[in-house]
Structure 1
Amino acid sequence: EADPLRAGLLAQIAVLPVAEAAEATSMDVEGEEKAPEKPTEILPEVSVYLSLLVINAFIGAEMLDQAQAACEALVTLLETLNRRTLDPLTSKAYFYLSLVHEKKGTLPSIRTLLLSAHRTACLHHDEMGQATLLNLLLRNLLSQNLVEQAYKLGVKLTNFPEKASNNQFCRYLYYTGRISALQLEYGDAYTKLLQSLRKAPQNTAAGFRRTVQKLMVIVQLLMGEVPERSTFNHKEYRAALAPYLVLTQAVRAGDLLRFNAAVAEHAAVFKADKTYTLVIRLSHNVIKTGLRRISVSYSRVSMEDICAKLHLDSPQSAEFVCAKAIRDGVIDAVIDHENGWMTSKELTNVYATNDPQRAFHKRINFCLNVHNEAVRAMVYPPVSYKKKADEKKDDEPTAEEIAKEIEEELAEEE
C-alpha cells in the first residue's frame, strides 16, 4: 500500500473487464468430455531468463548469499546445455556471478571457472561469451594488481572478437588502457582511453565515463600535458573530478608541497578510484615542471636555491635532479659542479625544431584514424547496391555491340 506504483497498477487491473465464460452453442455436443490439455513444455531460454531476473532482484536487494546460490545453480545448469540460443544469457549469468563475488570480496575464487568458461566459449565460437568473459578476467586480475598476467591475457595472447558488442569493446579498451598506464606506456594508454570514452554511450553509463575520465586526467599529467579546463567544468564530471583538479593545479604550478598536501588530503578518493599508484608517480613530473620554470626564469641559479624552491632534501639531491632533467631533455642547461650552480642556455626558436612537425603529424594521424574508423563502420544496403550495379552493367555496351557499331560506321563511310 505504501508503494504508489504498486497501488496504481492494482487500480488499473481492477477496472479491466473480466472475460466471461462462453455459453454452450448448438455446435457443442452435450455430455462430451474434453480431453485434458497437455502441459506446455518450458523452453530452457525462458527458465534461464526468469532466473536472471530473480538474480537481478537479489542483487538489487543486497541479498548476496541468495544471489550467489542462484548464480551457481544457474551456471551449473548452463554447463549441461549446449544451445547457441543460450549464449547471450550464459554470458549474462557469468557477469552476475562475477558481480556477486566482487561485492563479497571473493573474486579470486572464481578465476579458474572464468578461464574454463572462456576456453569453452572460444571452442564454441561464441563471440559474445568470449568478449564478456575476457573483460571479467581482466577485471578479476586487475583487482588483485596482477598487471603482468592481465597484459599477457588481454593484450599479448588474446584477440578481442570483432563482432562483439560496442559496450564490451568499450570495457576492453578501458582495461587495456589501464594496463598500459601501469606499464608506463602512457601514449598508448591515452589513445585507448580516449577511444573508449568516445565509443561509450552518451545518454547512459555516466559512471563508466567518469571512471575513464579520471584515469585520462592522470595519464595526461604523466605525459607532461595539462588537461583542458573545460574537462573539469563539465556538469557531469565537476564533482567527481574536484580532487583531480586540485592535483592538476599543483602539477601545473610545479609546487611539491602543494602536491603532497593534495595527495594527503584526497588519498582515500584516489585509492577508491584505484589511481593512487599512478598519482604517486606524478611527483617526478612536479619536480620537472618546477625545474623547467626555474630554468626559464634564471640564467644561472645555485643548487641551494633550487633545493629551497623545489623543497628537496639537500643540494646534492637538487644536483642529481638537474642532471637527470638535462639528460632527459627537460631543460637545456649546464651544471657547474665546482661552483655549485646551473647555467641555462639561451632559448632556441621552437619553429626551428621538429616540435611543430610532430604536433602536426599527431593531428593528421588522429584525423586519418577517425576517417578510417568511419569508413569501416559504414553499412551499405546490399539489395540496392546490387540493383545499381546491375543497371550500370546493363547500360554499358558489350564488346560485340561496340564491334558491330564500328563495322556499321566503316560500311557507311565506304
Structure 2
Amino acid sequence: MDVDMTTSGEQLPASAKHTVPELEIYCYLLVLIFLIDQKKYDEAKTCSSSGIARLKNINRRTVDVLASRLYFYYSYSYELTNSLAEIRGNLLSLHKMATLRRDELGQETLLNLLMRNYLHYNLYDQAEKLRSKAPRFEAHSNQQFCRYLFYLGKIRTIQLEYTDAKESLLQAARKAPVAARGFRIQCNKWAVIVRLLLGEIPERTVFMQNGMKKSLTPYFELTNAVRIGDLELFRSVADKFSRTFSSDGTHNMIVRLQHNVIRTGLRNISISYSRISLPDIAKKLRLDSHNPVADAESIVAKAIRDGAIDATIDHTNG
C-alpha cells in the first residue's frame, strides 16, 4: 500500500512508508541478473549503479550477504562492457565503507573485485600494494578465499616468486567447488606454467582431469616441448596456440619459458656427448640469432656457472 492510516484517521504521505531494505536489495539483484542474462549490459550498469547508491545508505548485518552479491554483479556488468576502470574509485570507497561497518564478507568480496580490476589492466604492483595493506580478516566464504588465492598466485608469478605462486594456485584449485570447472581450469593453466618455470614437469594426470582435457591441450603440448628441450617445437606450439595463451594472460610467462627449454636441451646434450663443438650445440639447440655460436658459448658458460651441467669449455678448439 502507498499510504497508511494513523489512529486518528489522518493520512501519511507515501514517502513515509519504506520498503524492507533486504527486499529492496534483493529486487535490485534479481533485475540486475535478468538484464545480464538478456545481454542488456548498459541497462545492467545503470541498475547496478542505482543499487549500489541505495546500498550505501543501508547499514544492517542482514543485508551483508545480498550486498556482497550486488558488489559482484556491479563489477561484472562493467567488466562485460570493458569499462572496469570507471568504477575503481567507487570500489575503493565501498571497501572502506565495508571495513568501517565491520562487514567482513563485503571486505572479502570487494578486495577480490579490486584485485581483479587491477589485474585486468596488468597493474600488478598496485594490486599487491592494496592486498598487503588491506585489513586482515578471517575468510568467511570459500569461494572468495579461492578467488583470493588465485589472484595472489598470479601476482606472485609476475613477481618471480614461483614457489609461493605454485602453492597458492594449487590450493585454489583444490579448494574450488567441483562445479566451478572454468575457475579450476584457469588455476591449473597458471599452475602448469609456474611448475615449468620452476623446472618441474607436471604429471600427465593433471591434463587428463574430467572436463579439462580439451582446455588444457595447449599446455600439455607446451609441457611436452619443454620436457624434451626442443626449441623449434616450443616455438611452433607457442605460435599455434598464441591466441589461447593471450586470452589466458599467460603469453608473457611462456616467453620466459624459452630459457628453460634451451637449458633442458643443453642438459640432454651434455648427457649424450662427452665432447661436442659449439657450432653443433647451436645447431642442435636451433638457435636462430645473428651469432648462434657466440650465443651457444654464452648459454653453456652460464649453465656451467649455475651448476646445471658438469662441463668445461675449450675456447681454442671451440
TM over 0.5: yes
- Shift, 1:88, TM fit: 1.9
Q: Are positions 1:296 and 2:298 aligned together?
A: no
Distance 2:70 2:208 in 1: 39
For residue 325 of structure 1, what is the aligned residue in structure 2?
303
Distance 1:51 1:157 in 2: 32
For residue 105 of structure 2, what is the aligned residue in structure 1?
128
Distance 1:56 1:46 in 2: 15
SS of structure 2 residue aligned to 1:207: helix
For residue 256 of structure 2, what is the aligned residue in structure 1?
281
Q: Do the aligned residues in 1 keep the contact of 2:139 with 2:145 (CA within 8 Å)?
A: no
Task: Give, as a single letter, the amino acid of the residue that structure 2 aligns with 1:326.
Answer: I
In structure 2, which of residues 67, 71, 80 is the aligned counterpart of residue 103 of structure 1? 80
In structure 1, which of residues 171, 176, 180 is the aligned counterpart of residue 147 of structure 2? 171
Q: Are positions 1:184 and 2:160 aligned together?
A: yes
Q: Are positions 1:216 and 2:191 aligned together?
A: yes
In structure 1, which of residues 105, 108, 112 is the aligned counterpart of residue 89 of structure 2? 112
For residue 286 of structure 2, what is the aligned residue in structure 1?
311
- Shift, 1:41, TM fit: 5.8
SS of structure 2 residue aligned to 1:132: helix
Q: Are positions 1:60 and 2:28 aligned together?
A: no
SS of structure 2 residue aligned to 1:235: coil
Q: Do the aligned residues in 1 keep the contact of 2:41 with 2:81 (CA within 8 Å)?
A: yes
- Shift, 1:159, TM fit: 4.9
Task: Give, as a single letter, the amino acid of the residue that structure 2 aligns with 1:325.
Answer: A
Q: Are positions 1:247 and 2:225 aligned together?
A: no
Aligned residues: 302
Distance 1:328 1:132 in 2: 44
SS of structure 2 residue aligned to 1:105: coil
Aligned-residue RMSD, C-alpha: 1.6
Residue-by-residue CA offset, 1:139-168 (whole Å, 9 max, x unaligned): 0000101111111112x2225521421110
Distance 1:319 1:229 in 2: 34
Task: Give, as a single letter, the amino acid of the residue that structure 2 aligns with 1:272.
Answer: S
Distance 2:81 2:219 in 1: 29
Residue-by-residue CA offset, 1:185-233 (whole Å, 9 max, x unaligned): 111100011111111112x111101110111111111111111111112
Q: Are positions 1:272 and 2:247 aligned together?
A: yes
SS of structure 1 residue aligned to 2:313: strand
In structure 2, which of residues 170, 186, 190 is the aligned counterpart of residue 194 of structure 1? 170
Distance 2:203 2:269 in 1: 24
Distance 1:114 1:306 in 2: 55
SS of structure 1 residue aligned to 2:312: strand
5+ residue gaps, structure 2, are 1-8
Task: Give, as a single letter, the amino acid of the residue that structure 2 aligns with 1:60.
Answer: D
SS of structure 1 residue aligned to 2:214: coil
In structure 2, which of residues 56, 61, 66 is the aligned counterpart of residue 79 of structure 1? 56
- Shift, 1:296, TM fit: 0.8
Q: Larger relative CO (CA 8 A, sep 6+): 1 or 2?
A: 2
Distance 2:19 2:58 in 1: 14
For residue 229 of structure 1, what is the aligned residue in structure 2?
204
Identity %: 48
Distance 2:194 2:219 in 1: 12
Which stretches of structure 1, 4 residues or longer, exceed 6 Å deviation after superposition? Answer: none
For residue 364 of structure 1, what is the aligned residue in structure 2?
none
TM-score when normalising by structure 1: 0.71
- Shift, 1:85, TM fit: 1.7
5+ residue gaps, structure 1, are 1-34, 341-414
- Shift, 1:93, TM fit: 1.4
